[in-house]
Amino acid sequence: MAGSTFGTIFRITTWGESHGKALGVVIDGCPAGLPLEEAHIQSYLDRRKPGRTGISTQRREEDAVEILSGTFEGRTTGTPLMLMVRNTSQISGDYSEIAPTYRPGHADYTFDQKYGFRDYRGGGRSSGRETLGRVAAGAVACRILSRLGVRVWAYTRSIGPVEADLTHFDRDAVLSTPTAMPDRDASEKAVAYLEQVKKECDSAGGSMECLVEGLPAGIGDPVFEKLDANLAKAVMSIGAVKAVEIGDGAMVSCRLGSSNNDPFRMEGSRVVKSSNHAGGILGGISDGDRVIVRAHVKPTPSIFRPQQTVSRQGQNMELCIKGRHDPVIVPRAVVVMECMCALTVLDAMMINMSARMDSLEEFYRKDRPENPASL
């Protein structure tokens, strides 16, 4: 299977299946000397851990991370980091009845068409549990970015018809409410809405946003490696994400240039913008403003209602899904989006170190003689 590796310099490869023995990630390109312990990664994994709230799947996993390589005495060594989480609560029998069928909204049919057979237990590699390796790697990326003065954080923007009021933005609520919304009133309404959806044996979609703060201007490239293009790819690679917007996104198609452009002005010695419709990126390159990424997530396809489908033998049939499934994907996907954006930004920053000759000279000629001939 191709496509399990992401990044150029800070490069990750995720592995494992929903009902296999374990899942994890190998990270290449992590600088030596970063203080790193399992607890630093665990706090991120706990945010996507199943069974924490009444609006997530009741599959209960500790998701305890183990660092198998790449650290010594609490610091990274510069060699590949291997992170692993063991599966402990898989119930594969829940899926035995659906083995010969295709679940609507899932990748069962497309996996069969591509590979000729599939791991039907929880979706195998296409399961949302695959994102565990992304989050573990993203936790490391966030730790590096924080040392560089860059902060990446995401939250739930909406669930079904309930949208957070961002004028009442509460960062603590993102980590303490079951919805990961920054608005406690909206979170309570969303929970009530989801309880009704669950009673109707259905599921709900929603949206989430990620902000990158402290990113300097000049990160990203202007053609095929645009920062916004790579962020879009990173977020679109998360299962169930169906659309991605940067800045004001789709709304710009209804505007005039005079209202959509962000005017520049001087603030002391700094160039700043008077607005941020562009979402912090111009021409594929960061402009120094806050980067804003928005993703729209489809409803959980596993619903406890009879659904029309076909079997692998081509027979029309009715399917009733069993198992433990989230009534909404967004709250647990928020940290996945945060980590994918962090991985993208960190990799772009590392690539950017070779963009200018003066930067190379400043780094490599520091504390060296002015005249190379004297060496």
pLDDT in tens, 201-258: 999 999 999 999 999 999 999 999 999 999 999 999 999 999 999 999 999 999 999 9
Can you tell me whether residue 65 is helix, strand or coil?
Answer: strand
Rounded CA separation 101/318 (Å): 10
- Where on the phi/psi map is residue 99: left (φ > 0), alpha (ψ -120 to 50), or beta? alpha
With beta carbons less than 8 A apart as the criterion, state whether 65 and 83 touch: yes
Residue 104, sorted as left (phi over 0), alpha (psi -120 to 50) or beta, turns out to be beta
Q: Give the C-alpha separation, 210 to 224, whole Å.
A: 22
Picking from 274, 277, 309, the residue whose alpha carbon sits closest to that of residue 291 is 277
Which of 296, 305, 299 lies closest to 326 in space, CA to CA?
299
Query: Contact, 319 vs 305, CB < 8 A?
Result: no
Q: What Cα–Cα distance (Å) separates residue 104 from each residue in 107, 130, 201, 312, 328?
A: 8, 20, 15, 13, 16
Predicted TM-score (pTM) of the model is 0.93
The per-residue pLDDT string of the chain (375 residues; one tens digit each, 9 = 90 and over) reads 678 999 999 999 999 988 889 999 999 999 999 999 999 999 999 999 876 666 765 556 789 999 999 999 999 999 999 999 998 876 655 567 778 889 899 888 998 888 887 777 766 777 888 999 999 999 999 999 999 999 999 999 999 999 999 998 999 999 999 999 999 999 999 999 999 999 999 999 999 999 999 999 999 999 999 999 999 999 999 999 999 999 999 999 999 999 999 999 999 999 999 999 999 999 999 999 999 999 999 999 988 889 999 998 899 999 888 766 789 999 999 999 999 999 999 999 999 999 999 999 988 887 666 665 554
Task: Enter the tokens of residue 314.
Answer: 């081509």
How many Cα atoms are found within 13 Å in the side-chain-facing hemisphere of 55?
24
All domains of the chain, ordered by start, with CATH? 5-353 (3.60.150.10)
